[in-house]
Amino acid sequence: MSDTLAAERPAYHYAVIARALAEIDAGGPSLSLDELAGRMGLSPAHFQRIFSQWVGVSPKRYQQYLTLDHARRLLAERFTLLDTSLATGLSGPGRLHDLFLRWEAMSPGDFARAGEGLTIRWVSVPSPFGEALVMATDRGICGLAFCEETGRTAAMADLMARWPRAQYVEDEATVAPLAAQAFSGGETRLHLIGAPFQIKVWEALLRIPSGHVTTYSEIASAVGHPRAVRAVGTAVGRNPVSFLIPCHRALRKSGGLGGYHWGLPVKRAMLAWEAARADAIA
């Protein structure tokens, strides 16, 4: 495919960037621009232009964010105290990085019915972090999974098991535009389906600004259960709309990545991607 054709196909850019992130993650700082562009089938100049437009920094600069100690540096330099984050203006209600969210939670009674009577539409789309499954009700996006580490079949089964009595319909025409808005920074509606404690944890996650991180213990304190660190970790892992509710921004006190439901390489790529974009804007 020529560079001209590639430039005319935004969906192709998704695939190129997802592949490039995987190559950078595997190859580290020793991977040159020429080598990386060659693996993408593009000229170095055109690849750097596409990459910089999408990530916000050059490939070489991005490589620096994928080092193993990046999470520890984030924790040291961009640690967010959740109980003061709103007061200091780091985050505001309904705002997540460049994405504007409007969301509502399912009632406890509806949650207890495990999705019975609910129609959930879904689509598979490319994303900055590989293939993603996006699910939505009439009220907004309710599920988002990344398939690079788990595979599509496992990711689909994982999301469907959360609401086993719902009816699932593949519907590209309805859900693909919602997914495009979510990944491009447009206004996005979320329909959060979870237990009351989970909803409180997810609300706390929404207060962590892009490019910043916090700890599981900070989240526990923010939701009024400072000793419930393990329960918080479970709720973080059950977040049904990963990335939009930024569970990847929760780290261990030591600076370790902790767990991530869709694979630690995806979590590390998300943290690096957001830090790079934050620094490019600053």
Residue 131 structure tokens: 């293939």
Which helix (H) or strand (E) segment holds residue 67: the answer is: none
The torsion angle over the Cα atoms of residues 205, 211, 217 and 222, rounded to 10 degrees, is -40
Structure tokens, 117: 């009577």
φ, ψ for residue 145, nearest 5 deg:
-130, 150
Just list the catalytic residues.
247
> What CA dihedral angle connects 111, 113, 114 and 119, to 10 degrees?
-100
* Contact assessment for residue 101 and residue 178, using Cβ atoms and an 8 Å cutoff: no
Q: Which amino acid is residue 203, in one-letter code? A: E
Rounded distance between C-alpha atoms, residue 116 and residue 165, angstroms: 5
